[in-house]
Structure 1
Amino acid sequence: MRKRQVLKHSIAIVSMLVCVCCFFIVSVTVFKLPEAPRKDRQMGFYPTIRSRKVSLQDFNLGKFGEMMIDMLPQDLAFTVFVPSEDAFKRDLRLSVSDSLKPDKFNDTYAIVTRILGFSAVPRILSSANVQSGELVNYDSLSGFPLYVSKDIDGMLVVNRIRSEIVDVRKKEIVVHVMDGVIMDAEFEQSVLAEDDTEED
């Protein structure tokens, strides 16, 4: 007698749980819950960056940036972290008025080629591919490791160098304009050493 009562009670409890679950599923599908804020939306006083497609026809990369992009095949996927014109001048002492003269052009071309090796990745990497708070690692064309993250305002940071403009497109190439030059310590030392000899 007691076993039958326990069995009846357990069947009643299971039936009640099934009814509650069915009610919950129906209420969720019929009455949609408000959408939770997406992870990449920013809170507080920081403006959100809305990405818009910018092509290189509408944007001037500067002479050295254009040299870098022209070295790559236009029909293959690449991402290039191009130094801004100011960064080329500040960090590499390259200026359009002086560095492109015939007697200095070969040296300038060699430097720009080396910078391309440090800062180009053979794949598409837009700012939307990197989540806030995430650190992703890629090898550049020269094998130099690049550590990419996204700042709170949506700009990319690569090896502690912040981007000024992101997601500029030229066919299959994605360009991010950086406020600095991505290079290894050995090349940076050689650039500094050249500056010291020029001052003497």
Structure 2
Amino acid sequence: MKVFRIFAAIALMFFTFSHANAMSKDIVDTAAGAGQFKTLVAAIEAAGLVDTLKGDGPFTVFAPSDEAFAKLPAGTVDDLLKPENKDKLIAILTYHVVPGKIMAGDIAGKSTEVKTVQGDTLDVDATNGVTVDKAKVVKADIVTSNGVIHVIDSVVMPN
């Protein structure tokens, strides 16, 4: 019984430390450390949005994974990362960001529109799984120190 208590205490300390460590990272650091957002992080850097997404927030980021970016036509990402396309890249990236912290539970069972930092609205449908425009949320509620990340399977484009 004593061994079980010691093991439980160690497990609790590890969980508390790892949870606190995750909460201390902002959106950019969390995305960079996840390993599945290399393209997104490169785009954030090229667009000059690092400081913004490290800011106080809170922000909700619908984050396309590297696999999502790979679905774009060949050459699209390379073109967007060129300095002359910075404004277009900023518009696309800020279309994936919503002011405030929207957790999956906040919208469960609902269909709604949310206004993006870019200025347009995203259609969010949480009545049968969760979609953002036509992208599926494949992982929700990655909590950061300045908001939340929801991983999506496609890059969504503003009108």
TM-score exceeds 0.5: yes
Q: Where does the alignment leave 5 or more consecutive residues of structure 1 unmatched?
A: 1-52, 186-200
Whether 2:158 is the aligned partner of 1:184: answer yes
Q: Give the alignment's TM-score, normalised by structure 1.
A: 0.52
Specify which of 107, 111, 117 is matched with residue 141 of structure 1: 117
Deviations 1:100-158 (A, max 9, x none): 9xxx54257555422222111111011111122x1122111121111212253xx4211
Whether 2:142 is the aligned partner of 1:161: answer no
Asked if 2 retains the 8 angstrom alpha-carbon contact of 1:82 and 1:119, the reply is yes
Q: Secondary structure at the match of 2:34?
A: coil
Whether 2:59 is the aligned partner of 1:59: answer no
Amino acid aligned to 2:34 = F
Which shifted more, 71-80 or 157-166? 71-80
Specify which of 95, 100, 117 is matched with residue 94 of structure 2: 117
User: 5 Å matches for 1:32-181?
Assistant: 55=22, 56=30, 59-67=34-42, 68=44, 70=50, 71-91=52-72, 93=74, 99=78, 105-107=82-84, 110-132=87-109, 134-152=110-128, 155-181=129-155
Q: Give the alignment's TM-score, normalised by structure 2.
A: 0.63
Q: Where does the alignment leave 5 or more consecutive residues of structure 2 unmatched?
A: 1-18, 23-29
Asked if 1 retains the 8 angstrom alpha-carbon contact of 2:91 and 2:158, the reply is no
Deviations 1:9-43 (A, max 9, x none): xxxxxxxxxxxxxxxxxxxxxxxxxxxxxxxxxxx
Which shifted more, 56-65 or 116-125? 56-65
State the 1:87 CA deviation.
1.6
Mapped partners of 2:99, 2:134: distance in 1:
21
Mapped partners of 1:106, 1:63: distance in 2:
18
Q: Bigger radius of gyration, 1 or 2? A: 1
Instruction: Find the counterpart in structure 1 of residue 15 from structure 2.
Output: none
**Higher relative contact order (Cα pairs below 8 Å, separated by 6+ residues):** 2
Mapped partners of 2:73, 2:145: distance in 1:
28
Mapped partners of 1:91, 1:164: distance in 2:
18
Identity %: 22
| Runs of 4+ residues over 3 Å off in structure 1 | 92-96, 107-112
